[in-house]
Chains A and B, each alone.
Chain A
């Protein structure tokens, strides 16, 4: 019965996140206790941002920009990549990384669809950003929140190619639709 109750519990509270950082089961670096929410942690935007520029053959080319002190304006319907200032991960829990509501209220997509973070991946997360309105962003601003979820079942270590990337990392999948079609057929 006790075991069943443990399984029932699912998303970590802010207090539990702090406890598990102390136990070494969650990594958030740098960590600031003021950024703890009732059931998530507020993370900050890193120093640089990449904007999709053009295709060079099959390869999508992104331009890298250091966000100036006066901020950088994201334009609507452009695809940007950035990264979290913090190294975020967990050896024990799965994660969901999203934007904060104050940013969503301005129409900023943060994580276009892949919010799920795998257990054992620990790094600066790449942020997939699309703005619906022109909006200025600042380096180091609190931009999103990450929550931690209990696993059910044993797990194998994440060995994916994105797990150790600490910069705004482009997709390893070629972007051209024709190419995607080929990959999907294989």
Chain B
């Protein structure tokens, strides 16, 4: 079923879960807390067409933080590299984040087994909210799979920093 925080610590030590950097104090009862990396991506104005590459800007979040306006959507990333060849990770907001009306993903919380890299956050603000680099913003839980495992070999493997959608590759 779902791993406890203590089990996550054990499985990191057994190399069955990849969390780097790892600090066991960030293990919660049923998850591990993820911090926000300092780079974000903002799409430029216009209509997104999944068949084409889109234009965007990369921005470094200053130490004093960055205000997201209500209705604003950007991509962020976890400081940590995460993944597992043995368990299925699922990303959740921290409740403190969600209570500010901030989504950390808008739909895709499920991560494939065998996918390793920093995770991209799909940040959507419903209220004006200030985000800081290094803030604990999300959490990841790990679930036990049923059946033979075929590892992920997809287009977002070994992500560093936030990754824009690469869906246009499906239309080539």
Contacts and interface: CB of A to CB of B under 8 A. Distances in A.
Which of B2, B106, B164 gathers the greatest number of chain A CB atoms within 10 Å? B106
Contacts of A133: 43, 48, 73
Interface in A1-51: 7-17, 19, 37-40
Interface in A76-107: 76-77, 96, 98-107
A34 to B, nearest CB: 11
A134 interface: yes
Interface stretch (A116-124, A143-151, A155-163, A168-176): A143-151
Given A76-B71, A104-B105, A147 B146 contact: no
Interface of A: 7-17, 19, 37-40, 71, 73, 76-77, 96, 98-111, 132-138, 141-142, 144-145, 147, 150
Contact of B165 (A37, A77, A105): A105
Interface of B: 1-2, 43, 46-51, 54, 71, 73, 75, 88, 105-110, 112-115, 120, 122, 124, 143-152, 154, 156, 163-167, 170
24 contacts: A8-B144, A10-B1, A10-B2, A10-B88, A10-B143, A11-B88, A12-B145, A15-B149, A38-B112, A38-B115, A38-B151, A40-B110, A99-B107, A101-B165, A104-B105, A106-B48, A106-B54, A107-B43, A107-B124, A132-B106, A133-B73, A136-B48, A144-B107, A145-B110
Given A107-B124, A132-B71, A134-B47, 14 more contacts: A9-B147, A10-B144, A11-B144, A12-B145, A38-B151, A103-B50, A103-B107, A105-B122, A106-B54, A106-B167, A108-B107, A134-B48, A136-B50, A141-B170
